[in-house]
Copies of this chain bind each other. A is one copy, B any other.
Amino acid sequence: MKNIAKEILNKNISAAAKLMRYIEEEDIKAIDELKLLYLHQGNSYVIGITGLPGSGKSSLIDVLIDYFRQDKKTVGVIAIDPTSPFTGGSILGDRIRMQKHSNDNGVFIKSLPTRGWKGGISKVTSRMIAVMDAMGKDIIIVETAGVGQTEVEIKDLVHTTVVVLVGGLGDSIQIVKAGILEIADIFVINKADKINTQDLESDLNSLLSLDSGSGKSIKDKEWKPPVCITEAANNKGIGNLIDNIFLHEDYLKTTGKFDEYFKNKSINDLKEIISDYLTNLLFKELNNDDIYKKLLNDLNNNESDPYTVAEEILRQFLKK
């Protein structure tokens, strides 16, 4: 037991891939290994990058990986976007381009399906981050698709959230209005060579300068998200983006928020594990219980409701 974990601490890639498979399959063999790895976390810098399909965020991640590798930093990528070339979901050209990193031992890419996770994607992503952290990755990038619940769940798992938009599209500003404003630490307006950025930039800046009254607040009142203009395809504006990522890291470290992050992450993991354990324990006991069968029957016949049944079950269970 814990052999896989020990190999992961020695940066063994196939051991990491094996444990990640256990985690994905919710195989209980993962638990003993994770127990050891959790003692070694807290060293990676975790960056979330989110943007709609078409915003060029995969190309942006590609050039960021190049930058970090030139700086001798190791990188892990967790791709949760079904249209990402990292997940093999995108057009062939892109996918081949991304594969250049697959020959680099300092880059570990893991793609996760967006679907099928009991209790949401954040649970499995949190474990994947723990594995990459224990592997010694200096930087972990989590890529998400930019619409909906996933980004919001993921934002508590990353230090810095980069939201990638493109000018010209009405969609971008709508997404901002719909909640992305609140999760962004840094905005990127990409494809500046192809699409005019001015309107979106001034819209974003006026949204960001609203202190209150709009009913929206930015993620962290003391940090004003900068707006970076990039051309990922031409490697332009990347230095400025990197500078802003490091500025945000400095900000988190100076204010003590960097350490808070791992604290909150551990407590969230704990609460979710306790909740799962308790529920499994209860339903294991209930499955052969006659009172439970009767209650389920009442529920199915609209003779009772789930709240009342839950209260009765807990009364029975906690009596024992």
Q: Encode A125-169 as 1/0 by CB contact (under 8 A) with B.
A: 000000000000000000011111111100000000000000000
Interface segment, one of A68-76, A99-107, A172-180: A172-180
Closest partner residue, chain B, to A308 (CB atom): B35
Cα distance A115–B151 in the bound complex, in angstroms: 9
Per-residue interface assignment for chain A, residues 255 to 290, with 1 indicating a CB less than 8 Å from any chain B CB and 0 otherwise? 000000011001101110111011101110000000
Among the listed B31, B83, B275, B305, which residue makes an inter-chain contact with A39, where contact means beta carbons less than 8 Å apart? B305
Measured CB to CB, the closest approach of chain B to A290, in angstroms, equals 17
Interface residue? A45 (CB, 8 A): no
Is A247's CB within 8 Å of the partner chain B? no
Q: A271-B283, A302-B38 are in contact. Are A178 and B307 (CB under 8 A)?
A: no
A252 interfacial by beta-carbon distance below 8 Å: no
Q: Contacts of A313 on B, CB cut-off 8 Å?
A: 274
Most central of A150, A177, A310 by chain B CB within 10 Å: A310
- Interface segment, A116-124, A186-194, A203-211? A116-124
Instruction: A182 to B113: give the CA distance in the assembly, Å.
Output: 13
The docked-state distance in angstroms from the alpha carbon of A177 to that of B149 is: 21
Interface membership of A34, Cβ < 8 A: yes
- In chain B, what residue has the closest Cβ to A265? B306
A310 touches B82 (CB 8 A): no
Is B299's CB under 8 angstroms from A267's CB? yes
CB within 8 Å of B: which of A35-61? 35-42, 52-54
Query: Whole-angstrom distance from the CB of A52 to the nearest CB of chain B?
Result: 8
Q: Are A178 and B83 in contact (CB under 8 A)?
A: yes
Q: How far is the CA of A303 from the CA of B41 in the complex (A)?
A: 11
Measuring CB to CB, which residues of chain A are less than 8 angstroms from any residue of chain B? 31, 34-42, 52-54, 82-83, 87, 89-91, 113-117, 119-121, 144-152, 170-171, 174-175, 177-179, 182, 262-263, 266-267, 269-271, 273-275, 277-279, 281-283, 296, 299-300, 302-311, 313-314
Given A115-B149, A148-B150: 11 more A-B contacts, CB < 8 Å:
A35-B305, A35-B307, A38-B306, A39-B302, A87-B178, A114-B149, A145-B147, A145-B148, A273-B307, A274-B279, A275-B278
